[in-house]
Amino acid sequence: MKVLFVSSEAHPLVKTGGLGDVAGALPRSLQAEGVDVRLLLPAYRHVLQQVESTKPLFSMGDLLGTGEVWLLQGYHPQVTVPIWLVDCPALFDRPGGPYQDEEGSDWADNGIRFSLFARAAALLGISGALTGWRPDVLHLNDWQSGFVPLWLKHWGAERPATLFTVHNLQYQGVFPKTLLSEVGLPEHFYSMHGVEYHQQVSMLKAGLYYADQLSTVSPTYANEIQSTEMGEGLDGLLADRSEQLNGVLNGIDTAVWNPQQDESIAKKYSLETLSSRAINKEQLQTTLGVSVNDEAPLFGLVSRLVPQKGVDLLLTVIPEILQRGAQLVVLGSGDSALEQWLLHLQQQWPQQVGVWIGYNEPLAHAMMAGSDVILVPSRFEPCGLTQMYALRYGALPLVRRTGGLADTVDQQSGFLFDDVSSESLAVVLHEAVDSYSDRKLWKQKQQYAMKQALGWERSAKHYIEIYQSLMQVEE
C-alpha cells in the first residue's frame, strides 16, 4: 500500500503546532505497520537548512507561472520515511515561518503558495511514471492541501483515493474569489456546492467537499463539528458527509516524548523513579525565575497564545490561586495582548509567575517534566497534544472537557471543567491546589497518568483501515 502523506509542516523539519508533531510521527508508525509512505512538504528555506542533503528528482515544470518547480528528495537522520520536497524558490525559499513572515503577518501570496503545493501533490498522485511510484492514497492535512482533491476533480484523470484530515476547522485558508482564475481553476467551482465560503474561496472547504474520505483528530471533535455552535458554518456539509467523517484520535511520539530518555530535561525519570521529578521542578523554577519551592504547586502552560486556547479565562482567575501560594510558568507566543497581559502578571508576581515568550522546543519538554499541572483550558480543542505529553511526564493535565481533551483526560488522570467561564475554571484550579497537599494521592494520580497508552499504534491501524476501504472502492 503506497501512501503520500501531504503536510505543510512536520517535526523535526518545520513545526508551528500539533500538525507538525502528527506529520512527524504518524508516517513513521504507518511505515512500521508495513505501509510504503512518503512525506511531501514545501521546500521552505527552513526545511532546506534542516535536511542534510537534497537530491533533485525531476522538474515538474512551471506549474503556476512562479518559476520552475522541482521535486527534491531530502534526508534527515530522525526521519525514517522518504522526504519529498516541492521546490519553488520564489514561493518557499524565504525567511520567516511556513505561513507568516518574520513580523507575524500572513504571507500575502499564501493562496498561490498552497495552490501550487496542492497542484504538485495532485500531479504526484496521477503521474507515477515520473517517479516510478504512484500512491494508492493521498493523505491530505488541513487547508494547505485542501486544493489537492480540487485539482484532481478538475483534471478528471484516473487518480488515487484521497483522505482529508482536519486538524483545526477554524483555519480555513480563505482567499478572494479571483484566486481560482489566478491559478487556472474554472469559475464553476465557485459555488455553494463547491469551494465558495462567505463570498470567498476556502481551501478547507475544497478538501471537505471533494476528498473521498474525511477525518478529524478525535472522536469527540468529529461530533462537535457537525453542530452549528462548533461547525464554523461548515456543519451542514460535515453532517451531510458524516458517513465519510472519521474521528481518529491522535497519538504522541513516545520516542520524542519520553521522560526516561529525554535529553532536554534536567533529570531523566520513570514511573519507578518519580521522586527524581523534583529536580526537574527545581530546574524549571530556576529557568523561569520563580522561587524554588517544592511546596508550591507549579502550574505550567505551553501554548500558542490565541483565543482558542482559553488563556484569557485563565489569566482572569489565576490571581486567586497565586494568593494561595501556587506558581504559574508559561511558554508561548501569539496575540500581543495576551503576551502583554502575561508579562504584566509576571511583574506583579515576580516570585510566582515566570513567562517565556517565544518558541522553545527543549523548554517545552522541561515544562512537562517540571510542572505539577499542565493547563489546557481551551474553548475548543480538536485533539490537543500537550495534555498527552503531560500525562506521559506525570504532570497532571487540567483541561476543559471538549474535543480531544475529553477523549484523553479523566478524573483519575487529571482535572476537568465544563463551562467556558473563568468561574468554572477557578473551581477546578482550587481543586488542584487542594489535591496537591495530599502528596500520596497526588502520586497515585501521577502513576495512573503515566500508565496511559498514548502511542500511535492504534490510530495508525485505524488510518490503514480507512486507506484499505478507500482502495476497495477504487478497485
Residues of this chain that bind ligand ADP (CB under 6 A): 17-18, 21, 302-304, 331-333, 359-361, 364, 383-386
Please name every residue paired with 59 in a beta bridge, in sequence order, or none if there are none: 70
**361 contact, one of ligand GLC, ligand ADP, none, CB 5-8 Å limit per kind:** ligand ADP
220 touches ligand GLC (CB under 6 A):
no
Options 29, 31, 168, 244; binder of ligand GLC; rule CB under 6 A = 168
Residue 4, all three cell numbers: 503520500
Cβ proximity to ligand ADP, 21 vs 262, nearer residue: 21
- Residue number, 29 or 168, with CB nearest to ligand GLC: 168
- Using alpha carbons only, how large is the chain's radius of gyration in Å? 23
**Residue from 5, 8, 18, 288 binding ligand GLC (CB under 6 A):** 18
Residues in contact with ligand GLC, counted by CB under 6 A, come to a total of 14
Q: Residue 306: which residues within 8 A CB-CB, separation 6 or more? A: 334, 335, 338
Determine whether 5 is exposed, middle or buried from the number of CB atoms within 10 Å of its CB (0-12, 13-18, 19+): buried
| Binding partner at 333 among ligand ADP, ligand GLC, none, C-beta below 5 to 8 Å by kind | ligand ADP
Rounded least distance, CB 221 to ligand GLC, Å: 8
User: CB-wise, 120 or 217, nearer to ligand ADP?
Assistant: 217
- Nearest 5°: the CA angle 447, 410, 418 is 145
Residue 69 is placed in which grid cell? 518547480
Supply 131's cell numbers. Answer: 517517479
Map the footprint of ligand GLC across residues 384-423, applying CB under 6 A.
384-385, 404
Answer yes or no: are the C-beta atoms of 26 and 249 closer than 8 Å.
no
From the list ligand ADP, ligand GLC, none, which binds 10 (C-beta under 5 to 8 Å, kind-based)?
none
Interatomic CA distance for residues 32 and 431, integer angstroms? 42
Please, which of residues 356-385 interact with ligand GLC by CB under 6 A? 381-385
Site for ligand GLC (CB under 6 A): which residue of 17, 67, 82, 231? Answer: 17
Residue 84 CB, nearest approach to ligand GLC (Å) = 21
How far is 196 from 170, CA to CA, in rounded Å? 16
Contact 48, 54 (CB under 8 A): yes
Among 15, 28, 113, 167, binds ligand GLC (CB under 6 A): 167
The residue number whose beta carbon is nearest to ligand ADP equals: 18
The least CB distance from residue 302 to ligand ADP, in Å, is 5
Residue 250 binding ligand GLC, by CB under 6 A: yes
Q: Taking Cα atoms as reference points, which of 127, 120, 204 lies closest to residue 167? A: 204
Helices 422-436 and 311-322: angle between axes, nearest 10 degrees: 40
Could you tell me how many helices (H) and strands (E) the chain has, helices first?
A: 19, 18
Report CA-CA distances (Å) from 324 to 321, 328, 353, 373, 428.
Answer: 5, 12, 13, 15, 14
CB of 342 to ligand ADP, least distance (A): 12
CB of 15 to ligand ADP, least distance (A): 7
Residue type, 432: A
3-class state of residue 103 by DSSP? coil
Partner touching 332 among ligand GLC, ligand ADP, none, CB below 5 to 8 Å by kind: ligand ADP
- Is 253 one of the binding residues for ligand GLC (CB under 6 A)? no
Residue 115 or 220: which CB sits closer to ligand ADP?
Answer: 220
Closest CB to ligand GLC among residues 15, 365: 15
Binding site for ligand GLC (CB under 6 A): 17-19, 22, 167-168, 217, 250, 381-385, 404
